Structure 1
Amino acid sequence: MKKRSWVAVLGTPIALFSATLIASEKLYNFAFKRVDYVPETSADKQKYADAYWSYVDWLNRQPAQTWQLNLDDEANRLVAKYVPAKNTSRRTVIVSHGYKGDGETMANYAYMFHNMGYNVLLPDDRGHGGSAGQYISFGWQDRRDYLGWIDQVCHQTGSQAEIVLFGVSMGGATVEMMSGENLPNQVKAIIADCGYTSIEEELAYLLKRQFHLPKYPFVPIVSFINRHRMGYFLSDVSSVEQLRHNKRPIFFIHGDKDVYVPSWMLKKNYQAAGGSKELWEVPNATHAESFWIDPAEYQKHVDAFLKRYLTD
């Protein structure tokens, strides 16, 4: 009986530890592993479906070019769609898409900037769309990939290029993370719509909200898995720390009803940001809904911000 009791005593924590590891591995694969399709939008966004597909149809009718990075490195090959402006322009916006999306899912923003006279570059991030990569980096590796896209834009439009970095959700966090890099002078402004503070805080928040699970021990284990798979801990992936080094004018947009990336993350990012900064908290907008509520009003705010920092 004593022997069997010791086995039971030891077996329980071992079984619990094993179950936690298995659950953490499943969580990592669910959140970080690429999917080769775009998941359906949330139920509250279905009312915008017809408008969304009309923007996609518009994008597919444009005389677009396919750009690539890392051509000779299949494991790191990246693709983007480039839509030139109606008239020759030195202004280009690089649009960063959201989680498990791709460049095409940003067709509505491409349409808006195209009508404002911009060339538009729509990259597929690592682990998304037509780009290589088995895992999603949540903006961390992408921030450096986008330096390559910036170089291609400068080559395409000349040294007098004026470049805007724009992103929504994960894309918003991506351009926030880019703000801390050594950006060339051609990058004139950044617009971040509903970006998170860090992937560690976002994962912990969603674990609690969606799955009723605590941060510990799951987030540290997932971070360790990511260190093994991708080469960095989740604590490295921080918009806040990158924004502290920002020197470009930056415009933060966020829906005040966002429960996916909560508004306290907006305030934390805004407070951290160096350089000239502005903020627009959109009334009654949920996550990534600010454009859809009133596209004309959204364009008006974006245009007004950019006119302060780009040449006539």
Structure 2
Amino acid sequence: MNWKKAASILIPTVSILGFSQLCTKFYRYGFARVDPPLTPETDDPEYLAAYQEFSQWFNRQKKEQWWLYSDDPSNRIHAVYLPNPRPTKKAVVIAHGYHGNAQMMAAYAQLFQELGYHVLMPDNRGHGESAGRWINFGWLDRLDYLDWCLDLIDHLGSDCELLLFGVSMGGAITMMMSGEDLPPQVKAIIEDCGYSSLHEQLAYRAKVEFHLPQFPTLPIASLINRIVLGFSLNDVNSLQALAKNTRPIFFIHGEKDDYVPTSMCYKNFAATSAPKEMWIVPNAKHAEAFAIDPEAYRDRVSWFLSRAGL
């Protein structure tokens, strides 16, 4: 074999192997479990002070520790339940975001408790006190959340009324739940800055953070994910679920979101024919809508809930 022929075989092979290794690193970077610090890493003293205030509120609340699949250590899922101090049949299930946990949703828990709801705050798979080495970006979580709804119905009675609420990846979880056969007690959905599909979100992040092309980055990552978690990246799709949705849904997104692009909110809104509302929050970046103007956020949420009959 001459050198030119050997090079024509060797160079593409080495390139493919090298790029495959880079895609594997991309997959590990995006999907491997990362437990966040107890305090947000921020230089903004106002944000940190607000976070600490909500955390102190959360620590003062009466809590119950709930579990799914508790007899299976490799599969068990954790949630914190905050019973409302006033009698009520309303409850909200709050879905946290990527690399978050239940306690990091304390601000929203306080909001909904003040609005008269019991609050259930799960730790998604691969987050918080729940099991899992890998993050599934809501595709498996959506079924866990359905089980959480059934547990709430058992706990509160068949006459209870449930709200689904989520931020970022949590917003995607609630949207993907909307395509499932939900119990009639689930009355409405509020999603804040969730992505339209995992394929589109990862393609955007691969380009922005790693300067990687969609092809073959995402097909390789999808193959790895099918081996690791059992599903394709294309399965994780809010738009397909929203097309089946029949419940009132409120879409919230920051005008200046450059992590989950604001354009995704418009796609999500267009995907469902159910009763719907949308609020693009001026000057808000990713997951900042509540922090930018908590009073307006509360007013908008209350207005939507009244329209939805809650």
Q: Scaled by the length of structure 2, what TM-score is found?
A: 0.97
Q: What is the CA distance between 1:4 and its match in structure 2? A: 2.8
Q: What is the CA distance between 1:30 and its match in structure 2? A: 0.7
2:308 matched residue in structure 1: 309
**2 CA distance for matches of 1:151 and 1:14?**
52
2:88 matched residue in structure 1: 89
> Pairwise mapping of residues 1-312 of structure 1 onto structure 2 (< 5 A)?
3-38=2-37, 47-311=46-310
In structure 2, the CA distance between the partners of 1:97 and 1:241, relative to structure 1 (3 Å rule), is: same
**2 CA distance for matches of 1:172 and 1:180?**
14
In structure 2, the CA distance between the partners of 1:283 and 1:137, relative to structure 1 (3 Å rule), is: same
**1 CA distance for matches of 2:80 and 2:40?**
22
**2 CA distance for matches of 1:41 and 1:21?**
34
Unaligned residue ranges in structure 2 (runs of 5+):
none
In structure 2, the CA distance between the partners of 1:45 and 1:16, relative to structure 1 (3 Å rule), is: farther
Unaligned residue ranges in structure 1 (runs of 5+):
none
SS of the equivalent of 1:126 reads coil
Q: Name the count of aligned residue pairs.
A: 310
**1 CA distance for matches of 2:223 and 2:173?**
22
SS of the equivalent of 1:269 reads helix
**2 CA distance for matches of 1:276 and 1:128?**
32
Q: What is the CA distance between 1:44 and its match in structure 2? A: 8.0
In structure 2, the CA distance between the partners of 1:183 and 1:38, relative to structure 1 (3 Å rule), is: farther
**1 CA distance for matches of 2:192 and 2:44?**
17
Q: Deviations over 1:197-251 (max 9, x none)?
A: 0111000011112222211111110001001111111011000000000010000
Cα RMSD for the two superposed structures: 1.5
Code of the aligned partner of 1:9: S
Q: What is the CA distance between 1:156 and its match in structure 2? A: 1.1
Contact 1:81–1:122 (8 Å) recurs in 2: yes
Q: What is the CA distance between 1:46 and its match in structure 2? A: 6.2
Q: Deviations over 1:139-176 (max 9, x none)?
A: 10011000110011111111111100000000001100
In structure 2, the CA distance between the partners of 1:41 and 1:196, relative to structure 1 (3 Å rule), is: farther
**1 CA distance for matches of 2:213 and 2:222?**
14
**1 CA distance for matches of 2:38 and 2:201?**
19
In structure 2, the CA distance between the partners of 1:5 and 1:236, relative to structure 1 (3 Å rule), is: same
Q: What is the CA distance between 1:40 and its match in structure 2? A: 7.3
**1 CA distance for matches of 2:41 and 2:202?**
18
**2 CA distance for matches of 1:213 and 1:25?**
12
**1 CA distance for matches of 2:52 and 2:11?**
53
SS of the equivalent of 2:215 reads coil
